[in-house]
Amino acid sequence: MPIIISRPFTASRVKDSLLLLSAALSFSLLLYLHHLHIQPPDAAFAIAETPPSPPYPPPITIKNLLFSIASSASSFTSRAAYVQMWHNPISHLNTTFLFLDRPVPNPSSFPTLPPIIIPQNSSYLTAGHRIARIVKDAFALDIPDVFWYVFGDDDTIFFTDNLVRILSKYDHGRWYYIGSSSEIYEQNDKFSFDMAFGGGGYAISAPLVQALHRVLDSCLDRYPHLYGSDARIFACISELGVRLTVEPGFHQVDIRGDLLGMLSSHPLSLVASLHHIDAVEPIFPGMSRIHALEYLFKAAHFDPPRILQQTVCYDLTNELTVSISWGYAIQLYEENMLLPEVLSLQRTFKPWNRGRDVTSTHFMFNTREFPSDPCKRPVVFFLNNVVSDSTGVLTNYTRHDDGSCVRGKGIKNLKVISVFSVKQNLDVEQMKAPRRHCCDISVSFDETMIIQIRKCGTNELISMRG
């Protein structure tokens, strides 16, 4: 039986349902072509038929990760829903813990949350010192078979399946400190370019945590002037001679407003976390912030490594550039955009520090203008539903209203885009040297477009070929 998720059905979505039925018929044709192993027409791009390599045995599982989440009695109630979103009470029961400064009323009203721990004398410490000591408190739990200690805030959303895959690339018997910096140059300049920002989360290998546990208290005494726990942990790890190993999938999200520009151009790495959820708009229009994130997580469940991965393909006939952020949104540009420009982030968001003009802020990635005129922006299609079976995953995206804009004949009546992809089963070696996937517009009608995502050929270029 296929597995389906969908948004609530209302009378206003009847037409969309009919369009999806049309897409399903086209999808059947696409599956037929897929089973025939039809490749792109250009023989120079053909992929040689080689026996599939056996799946790489995962060296760790979720039970080898211990999650330590910093919270407080003041923020616990409002942010409990964020932890509940990614925390699985069945598989994470003994590997996730909430560290608070003092007891909260009626903790039993949150039965699906992880166990709450209130370290001794925590109420007498500053917030930065208390949260920094969570590294020591987590190690003192003495949970067996923990290879990695993961730290985050109560508003940090973890994609745990991807985090397991990311950490599988590294030898957990060595000293590793893994995370990422801020998206804002000024934030890194103020704190450190070499520090893992704690809101985005970071991971420390068990041997390094053991070493840090022995020296942490004496080390913290030297850094009371530093702001925040992540700066103090970074300083102590630096004293042990260890540098940060950067993984771009950890997202501090030091930005506000609309995350479309960020989520639609994710770097070529697995997404591990999202932070500062309270400071951004709902990522899907017409939903609450929590519901929108839950919707993204449902899509991620079908193919975790592919969530938010950007794939770009071109329609030569209509001169369209199609940018797919899998499981989230598709953008159609009515022009031939070169790939580096498509990969840069549209400035749909605002800087973290209030009162700053976005043009005066320096970001740690390439950005491009997001036109103020809606009719000069790309046409956006947001995820509507997901269908999965043994052959792969079909994601359907419906058009977001762009007002009375006049569009070209290629997309004037386009209502639905369906994307077929085979589930990714990445091994460690593939993650060490990732390559962006290609896509083909396999079927295109007046109101429906069908796209197939596939591996690129050996010498294939992602460009509009004429």
| Residue given tokens 């630096």 in the structure block | 238
What is the residue-averaged pLDDT of the chain?
Answer: 87
Q: Longest C-alpha distance within the chain, in Å?
A: 70
pLDDT tens, residue by residue, 134-148 = 999 999 999 999 999
Residues contacting residue 339 through CB under 8 Å, at least 6 positions apart: 312, 462, 463
Mean pLDDT in residue range 16-43: 49
Note whether 73 and 101 are within 8 A (CB).
yes
| Residue given tokens 């370290």 in the structure block | 119
Band (pLDDT 50/70/90 cuts) for residue 403 is confident
CA angle in degrees (0–180, nearest 5) for 414-329-2: 85
Residues contacting residue 52 through CB under 8 Å, at least 6 positions apart: none
pLDDT tens, residue by residue, 78-118 = 999 999 999 988 777 679 999 999 888 877 778 889 999 99
Band (pLDDT 50/70/90 cuts) for residue 19 is low
Is pLDDT above 50 for 9? no
SS (H, E, C) 105-120: CCHHHCCCCCCEECCC
Is pLDDT above 60 for 166? yes
pTM for this predicted structure: 0.88
Mean pLDDT in residue range 157-173: 96
Task: Tell me which H or E stretch contains 320.
Answer: strand 320-325
Number of neighbours of residue 185 by Cβ within 10 angstroms: 14
Which tokens go with 59?
Answer: 């060296």
Task: Return the pLDDT at 20.
Answer: 54
CA 195 to chain centre: 20
Sign of CA dihedral 39, 44, 48, 54: negative
Is pLDDT above 70 for 261? yes
Residues contacting residue 33 through CB under 8 Å, at least 6 positions apart: 442, 452
Which parts of 374-460 are beta strand (E)? Answer: 379-389, 392-399, 416-421, 438-444, 448-454
Residues contacting residue 121 through CB under 8 Å, at least 6 positions apart: none
- Assess if CATH 3.40.30 describes domain 3-53+305-337+371-454: no
Tell me whether the CATH fold assigned to 3-53+305-337+371-454 matches the one assigned to 62-246.
no
**In this predicted structure, which of 62-71, 115-124, 161-170, 393-402 has the lowest mean pLDDT?**
115-124
Cβ neighbourhood burial of 389 (10 Å; 0-12, 13-18, 19+): exposed
Band (pLDDT 50/70/90 cuts) for residue 51 is very low
- Assess if CATH 3.90.550.50 describes domain 62-246: yes
Task: Return the pLDDT at 49.
Answer: 42
Band (pLDDT 50/70/90 cuts) for residue 30 is low
State the Rg of the chain over Cα: 23
Which tokens go with 344?
Answer: 């840069």
Task: Tell me which H or E stretch contains 75.
Answer: helix 73-86
Task: Return the pLDDT at 454.
Answer: 96
Report residue 195: phi and psi, to 5°: -105, 140
Task: Return the pLDDT at 36.
Answer: 39
Percent of the chain scored above 70 by pLDDT? 85
Which parts of 168-290 are beta strand (E)? Answer: 177-179, 202-205, 245-246, 255-257, 273-274
According to DSSP, the residues that pair with 311 across neighbouring strands are 324
Helices 206-220, 229-239: axis angle to 10 degrees equals 110
Report residue 349: phi and psi, to 5°: -110, 170
Band (pLDDT 50/70/90 cuts) for residue 465 is confident
Is pLDDT above 60 for 424? yes
Mean pLDDT in residue range 330-351: 94
Report residue 210: phi and psi, to 5°: -60, -45
**In this predicted structure, which of 35-49, 144-158, 223-237, 262-276 has the lowest mean pLDDT?**
35-49
Q: How far is residue 326 from each of residues 121, 248, 260, measured CA to CA in Å?
A: 46, 18, 13
Report the Cα–Cα distance between both ends of the chain, in Å, rounded: 42
CA 75 to chain centre: 24
Task: Return the pLDDT at 330.
Answer: 98
Which tokens go with 266?
Answer: 């994710």
Rounded to 10 degrees, what is the CA torsion of 274, 279, 284, 287? Answer: 120
Task: Tell me which H or E stretch contains 214.
Answer: helix 206-220
Rounded to 10 degrees, what is the CA torsion of 139, 144, 148, 153? Answer: -60
**In angstroms, rounded to a whole number, what is the distance separating the alpha carbons of residues 463 and 216?**
52
Domain ranges of the chain: 3-53+305-337+371-454, 62-246
**In angstroms, rounded to a whole number, what is the distance separating the alpha carbons of residues 206 and 209?**
5
Mean pLDDT in residue range 29-35: 49
Mean pLDDT in residue range 16-33: 52
